[in-house]
């Protein structure tokens, strides 16, 4: 339920919003009901990362992989199997040099503290009851190596220290990010 195309101030960009068909249908119905319009050009691409071919679906929608692009893939990888994640990453490495990707992931429980594992267990159980079980977990060091090996030229692992210092340090309620989820920012 990303809202970037409804918040962007860059009227020159074109956003391709990719989501499950059912999720996209629900989102568009809610946006229509609220009478909200995008602030930039947007094309909706219905795609199931595990069942469809992202390259084919994006190209059919007018995406040009020969021009640098920015991919925001947030809130997706934890719900996908490893094959779908690897297929998507491989596609992005075939895009124009300078293309970038930011994605989040859940840290392998073996890399977490006892309390972080408890938090992850509760989160996993809750999501499973809603029909959205977590499927993928990663060791940050091993994932960074894999990203380098498949062709990303720059790989930055962004953990809670960075997020807390740059985005949460001014919060009056003291909220801080934990280590259960992290981000990677990579470049082709």
Model pLDDT for residues 23-71, shown as the tens digit of each residue: 999 999 999 999 999 999 999 999 999 999 999 999 999 999 999 999 9
Is residue 112 within 8 A of residue 120, CB to CB? The reply is yes
Beta bridge partners of 101: 71, 186
Considering the domain boundaries, does residue 37 fall inside one?
Answer: no
Q: How many domains does the chain have?
A: 1
CATH number where 58 lies: 3.40.50.150
Q: Within the chain, which residues score under 50 in pLDDT?
A: none
What's the length of the chain? 188
Considering the domain boundaries, does residue 23 fall inside one?
Answer: no
End-to-end CA distance of the chain: 26
The model's pTM is 0.90
DSSP for the chain reads: ---HHHH---TT-EEEEEE-HHHHHHHHHHHHHHT---SSEEEEEE--TTTS-HHHHHHHTT--TTS--EEEE-S-GGGS-HHHHHHHHHHHHTSPTT-EEEEEEEBPGGGS-HHHHHHHHHHHHHHHHTT------B-HHHHHHHHHHTT-SEEEEE-HHHHIIIIITT-TT-----SSEEEEEEE-
What pLDDT shows up at residue 11?
A: 87
Considering the domain boundaries, does residue 106 fall inside one?
Answer: yes
Considering the domain boundaries, does residue 166 fall inside one?
Answer: yes
Considering the domain boundaries, does residue 6 fall inside one?
Answer: no
Considering the domain boundaries, does residue 62 fall inside one?
Answer: yes
Considering the domain boundaries, does residue 99 fall inside one?
Answer: yes
Considering the domain boundaries, does residue 53 fall inside one?
Answer: yes
Beta bridge partners of 73: 103
Domain housing 65: 47-187
């Amino acid at each position: 339920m990303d809202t970037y195309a409804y918040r962007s101030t860059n009227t020159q960009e074109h956003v391709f919003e990719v989501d499950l068909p059912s999720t996209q249908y629900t989102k568009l119905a809610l946006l229509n009901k609220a009478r909200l319009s995008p602030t930039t050009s947007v094309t909706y691409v219905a795609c199931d990362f595990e069942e469809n071919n992202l390259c084919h679906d994006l190209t059919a929608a007018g995406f040009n992989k020969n021009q640098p692009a920015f991919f925001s893939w947030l809130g997706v990888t934890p719900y996908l199997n490893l094959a779908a994640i690897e297929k998507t990453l491989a596609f992005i490495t075939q895009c124009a040099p300078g293309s970038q990707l930011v994605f989040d992931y859940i840290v392998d429980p073996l890399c977490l503290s006892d309390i972080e594992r408890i938090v992850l267990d509760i989160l996993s159980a809750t999501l499973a009851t809603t029909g959205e079980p977590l499927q993928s977990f990663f060791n940050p060091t091993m994932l960074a190596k894999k990203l380098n090996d498949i062709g990303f030229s720059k790989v930055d692992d962004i953990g809670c220290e960075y997020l807390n210092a740059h985005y949460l340090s001014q919060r009056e309620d003291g909220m801080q990010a934990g280590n259960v989820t992290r981000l990677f920012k990579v470049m082709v």
